[in-house]
Amino acid sequence: MHKLQIFSVAKLAAVVIRLVRPKSTGGRPSAPLGSRLLTNPDDIFKHNMWDHVEWTEEDKENARQRAEENSRAQLPLNEQGTFDTEASQYWDTFYEKHQDKFFKDRRWLFFEFPELLPSGAKDRDTKGHQQAPIPPSRASSTDTQTGHRHRCDPRFRDTFHRQESRQEPAPEENEVNAESSTFPGQHASFRILEVGCGVGNSVFPIVNNITESDAFLYCCDFSPRAIQLVKDHADYDGSVCHAFVHDICEETASFPFPPQSLDVILAVFVLSSIHPDRMQGVVNRLCAHLKPGGTFLFRDYGRYDFSQLRFKKGRCLSENFYIRGDGTCVYFFTKEDIHDLFSKAGLEEIQNLEDRRLQVNRGKRVAMHRVWMQSKYRKSCPPSS
For residue 25, the model assigns a pLDDT of: 45
Q: How far apart are CA 91 and CA 287, in angstroms?
A: 24
Lowest pLDDT segment from 87-91, 160-164, 216-220: 160-164
For residue 200, the model assigns a pLDDT of: 87
**pLDDT class of 359 with cuts at 50, 70, 90:** confident
**pLDDT class of 98 with cuts at 50, 70, 90:** low
For residue 151, the model assigns a pLDDT of: 42
Within 8 A by CB and 6+ apart from 329, the residues are: 83, 84, 87, 272, 273, 274, 275, 317, 321, 322, 323
pLDDT digits (tens, 9 = 90+) for 104-116: 556 789 889 999 9
For residue 80, the model assigns a pLDDT of: 57
The answer to whether the Cα torsion of 223, 229, 230, 232 is positive or negative is positive
Arithmetic mean of pLDDT, 339-368:
91
For residue 368, the model assigns a pLDDT of: 87
The answer to whether the Cα torsion of 186, 187, 190, 196 is positive or negative is negative
Lowest pLDDT segment from 222-226, 327-331, 369-373, 380-384: 380-384
Residue with the bigger pLDDT between 271 and 314: it is 271
For residue 26, the model assigns a pLDDT of: 41
**pLDDT class of 199 with cuts at 50, 70, 90:** confident
Q: How many CB atoms lie within 10 A of CB 59?
A: 18
Query: Does residue 290 surpass a pLDDT of 90?
Result: yes
Q: Which of 371, 381, 289 is nearest to 330 (CA)?
A: 371
**pLDDT class of 85 with cuts at 50, 70, 90:** low
Q: How far apart are CA 276 and CA 298, in angstroms?
A: 16
For residue 6, the model assigns a pLDDT of: 42
For residue 58, the model assigns a pLDDT of: 93
pLDDT digits (tens, 9 = 90+) for 294-313: 999 999 999 999 999 999 98
Q: How far apart are CA 2 and CA 333, in angstroms?
A: 22
Cα distances (angstroms) measured from residue 192 to each of 166, 176, 257, 290, 295 = 14, 16, 11, 10, 10
Query: Does residue 30 surpass a pLDDT of 90?
Result: no
**Is the CB of residue 52 less than 8 Å from the CB of residue 20?**
yes
Residue with the bigger pLDDT between 228 and 148: it is 228
For residue 45, the model assigns a pLDDT of: 77
Q: How far apart are CA 134 and CA 142, in angstroms?
A: 12
Please tell me the pTM assigned to this model.
0.75
Query: Does residue 161 surpass a pLDDT of 70?
Result: no
For residue 90, the model assigns a pLDDT of: 57
Decide the pairing of beta strands 366-379 and 241-245: unpaired
For residue 92, the model assigns a pLDDT of: 61
In one-letter notation, the amino acid at residue 48 is N
The answer to whether the Cα torsion of 296, 28, 49, 324 is positive or negative is positive
For residue 88, the model assigns a pLDDT of: 55
- Which residue stretches of 198-334 are H helix? 203-210, 224-232, 276-287, 306-309
In one-letter notation, the amino acid at residue 221 is D
Query: Does residue 182 surpass a pLDDT of 80?
Result: yes
Of the segments 6-10, 225-229, 363-367, which one has the largest average pLDDT value? Answer: 225-229
Lowest pLDDT segment from 26-30, 57-61, 97-101: 26-30
